[in-house]
Structure 1
Amino acid sequence: MRARHIPLALAATLLVLTGAAGCVPPAAPVSAPSCPTGARVVGSSIEDLQRAVDAAAPGDVLRLADTTYAGRLVVSASGSDAAPIVLCGSAQARIDGGDATTGYALHVDGAAHWRIAGFAITGASKGIVADAASDIVFDRLVVEDIGEEGIHLRSGTTDSTVSNSSVRRTGIVTAEYGEGIYVGSAESNWCRYTGCEPDRSDRNRLVGNTVSDTTAEAIDIKEGSSGGVAEANTLTLSDVAVVDSAVDVKGNDWRIAGNRVTSAGIGIEVQQVADGWGGRAVIEGNTIDAAIDAYAIDVAGAARTQGSVIRCDNRTASGAEVRASLACTP
């Protein structure tokens, strides 16, 4: 029997998370609920898990068993605005795709209104991919030992959140594709994913995550994406990375705020790689330690005339003013 009757405390939390579609809520700590008492525990095989997810209906609460699910999971059913579907687990629950050279460990494909929380994901070319999804919360997940990117919101995925999660050891097969958290897709891939139109993966929020040991950017925001927030994350780009910045912003109207960034190269970079993109970023309140010969914040090339703002409250860990390519704005 499905656990469709959500406890009142859980229902209240879900309503807070759901929010109004079409606007960016104020950035603040976000957390999906822990697995509530009475959640339906899924069987211990990946086939059991896939069947449960396929049959899920609005308001269902599914709990992973404390085991390793060997295989890949596809989420394509949808909850509702008032009754999202919850897929949760403990730190002892894991989805292991088994091969870091191919596939997606968790693919959210065209689904809406899910809260996915609390377990680990490993063993695939891409850890989590969300395609054409909306109102998905990925919370308190561990994504590790991935061949390419850890978490990718793509193909017009909107109004979704990655929060309180740990992403580490990405790019172990293909270093240049080893981003930690990746939003949108490059212009060269728009014909593949979005009918040759910009990949408008808009109004997404990246809040309170820890990203480390990536071979590409800790956070990469592509041209085509607008109106998102990256706030209160701890981001480390080591000297083994094959890129030059911990955070790369190529979309429009992104707010990059309150992050702790440690980089062997540039800390935060804003670029224009496609006409009409790479504009109006607001960069404020970050603590950034970059390479001694690199900018902590670099609004580069043509992006310098696109209205981005660097606030004067960005500092190094010692409290010094950061080195930036544009004068700061109080």
Structure 2
Amino acid sequence: MSHRTPRAAAAAGVLALGSAVLALLPAQAGAATELLGNGGFESAALSPWSCAGTAATTATAPHSGAAALSAVPGSADLAPCTQSVTVQPNTGYTLTAWVKGSYVTLAAAGTGVSTSTWANAPGWTQLTRTFTTGPTTTQVAVTLSGWYGSPYQADDVSLTALGAIPSSPPPTSASPSPSTAPPSTSPSGAPSSAPPTSASPSASPAASTPANTVRVSTAKELQAALSAAVPGRTIQLADGTYTGNFKITTAGTAAAPITLTGSPNAVLTTATGGGYGLSLANAPYWTVRGITVTNAQKGIMVDASDHVVLDGVTVHHTTMEGVHFRNSSSYGVLRGSTVRDTGTAHDGKGEGVYVGTANTLTDRSDHVQILDNTIGPNIGGENIDLKEGTTGGLVSGNRFDGNGLTNVNYDDSWVDVKGNGYTIENNTGVRTMNDGYQTHTQQPGWGCGTVFRGNTSDLTGASGSNTAKYAIDVTNYSADCPTTVTADNTVTGGTALVNPGVPVG
């Protein structure tokens, strides 16, 4: 949430649609056997696809054959169509589909697998994703989905095996840290070198062996496994509901991070709706992958824990924020995840993602990367709030939905930047109150050095009280506190791309 006095200037925002980061596997030998059924949607019954919302086959201009999938998301759903497929452990797969429409997503999820990519195209466009299953992966859910209120089509969906992946260890030079060095900063906090790109953090350097995998199926087993975790271990959650306030206090290492993994059907929930769903405290080098956290005061809390990766998680229905990097938790990553329905108390304290702590400069949660997530709808604060005292983060490839903003605590934009040296790029946003993106100086010398590039903002229907509405509202632009807005940012609706006096180039 924002802590600032009212201002006359209209708030601003650019919304951004992110480019998914794709790590291609080396070519593998093996027969390309098709694993999906009815990938061409030639069967009018759609089976074995399971679709929610309005979905059917259509004979109108398919990519090939006689039919294609046609789906129409509603105002509060993505009209997903899902098919579960049996796969082999430690195997590479290629997933492809031809799609057309607004922000059509192709994804695969399962035990240790969470990957997605999307396109926004009026004509047929091919999506491709390559992934490797984990040592215990036997099922993967392939999902097609669209964007709120925007029809989409899909055809010729395919999943084929590349072959078994060699078991030799990866190079020792791999690191779970972000692959781009953070920019150095001047005394004012503005970056003195080029901002980071949207390169994704490298994969963990060493996968856990089956002998170091602990499988749990109850809340008691889960808490015991978290308490007994050692570097290099994987904790595998069976599908089911785990009730409690789960806390991680054991550290992994750069050479042997610890992994907590499960499918979205492995659900962490609290008994009362209070406390933290999952907390990491003084617990660096953890990866949390695939699971769902819900029904808590706060979803996932990362405290004093560097190099924590949250990959493909789902966080929803929290009374306060969904994900929070706090108490100098640096080099954290949230990627490929969904955060929605936060701040259910409707008091302006329900940010989707929160980095740092308000009204202090001692929380140095620096270089946090927020990549390729869907944040919204029904976020009770800003989709992302980047606090003063934090530096050098990257917000890239995300899809924002501001439906749920309250302006109770000045939450009237998708992203509010109060830290220094951030890069905000290739995001897309819809449904906001006043602006898309805003910068603010809450402490002298902060809220400076932000770079906005390649963001797509739709301010249509912005319902806030500000007369002027901007995709990017830079409230503190000066030579001592610069902000860069490149010409590839775009806006639909609203007053203008950026507030007067801020150059675009």
Instruction: Give the TM-score taking structure 2 as reference length.
Output: 0.58
- The amino acid of 2:393's aligned partner reads G
| SS of 1:50 mapped into structure 2 | helix
Q: 8 Å contact 1:41–1:65 — kept in the other structure?
A: no
Say if 2:387 is the partner of 1:222.
yes
- Quickly say closer, same or farther: Cα 1:138–1:31, change in 2 above 3 A: farther
| Aligned pairs (5 A) from 1:169-208 | 169-187=341-359, 190=360, 197-208=361-372
- Structure 2 unaligned regions, length at least 5: 1-134, 137-164, 183-195
- CA-CA distance at 1:28 after TM superposition: 2.6
* Residue 124 (1) aligns with residue 296 (2): yes
Superposition deviation, residue 105 in structure 1: 0.5
| Match in the other structure for 1:251 | 419
Cα distance in 2 for residues equivalent to 1:253 and 1:278: 8
Alignment of 1:128-147 (within 5 A): 128-147=300-319
> Where do 1:13-32 residues align within 5 Å?
16=174, 18-19=176-177, 23-24=181-182, 26-29=197-200
CA positional deviation for 1:323: 4.0
Q: CA deviation at 1:8?
A: 6.3
Q: Which residue, out of 327, 330, 333, partners 1:155? A: 327
Secondary structure of 1:112 counterpart: coil
Q: In 1, Cα distance between the equivalents of 2:496 and 2:346?
A: 36
Greater helix fraction, Structure 1 or Structure 2: 1
Q: State whether structure 2 residue 216 is matched by structure 1 residue 47.
A: no
Question: Aligned ranges for residues 263-274 of structure 1 at < 5 Å?
Answer: 263-274=432-443
Conserved 8 A contact 2:179-2:199: no
Between the aligned partners of 2:426 and 2:235, the Cα distance in structure 1 is 34
3-state SS of paired residue (1:261): strand
Task: Tell me if structure 1 keeps the 8 A contact 2:453–2:489.
Answer: yes
**Alpha-carbon distance in structure 2 between the residues aligned to 1:172 and 1:211:** 15
Q: Provide the C-alpha distance between the structure 2 equivalents of 1:160 and 1:10, rounded to a whole number of angstroms.
A: 28
Give the number of the structure with larger relative contact order, counting CA–CA contacts within 8 Å between residues 6 or more apart.
2
* Contact kept in structure 1, 2:381 and 2:404, CA below 8 Å: no
The corresponding residue for 2:475 is: 300
Letter in 1 for 2:268: I
How far did 1:325 drift? 4.0
TM-score (norm. length: structure 1): 0.86
For 1:194, the equivalent position in structure 2 comes to none
Residue identity in the other structure for 1:142: T
Greater Cα radius of gyration, structure 1 or 2: 2
Q: How large is the RMSD of aligned CA atoms in angstroms?
A: 3.0
Greater strand content: 2
State whether structure 2 residue 252 is matched by structure 1 residue 83.
no
For 1:311 and 1:10, the matched residues in 2 are separated by 44
Does the aligned pair in 1 maintain the 2:324–2:353 contact within 8 Å?
yes
Indicate yes or no: 2:407 matched with 1:236: no
* Cα drift, residue 289 of structure 1: 1.4
Where does structure 1 lack aligned partners over 5 or more consecutive residues?
A: 191-196
Q: How many residues align?
A: 315
What is the percent sequence identity of the aligned residues? Answer: 33
Preserved CA contact (<8 Å) 1:297 1:325: no
Paired with 1:158 and 1:106, the residues of 2 have a C-alpha distance of: 18
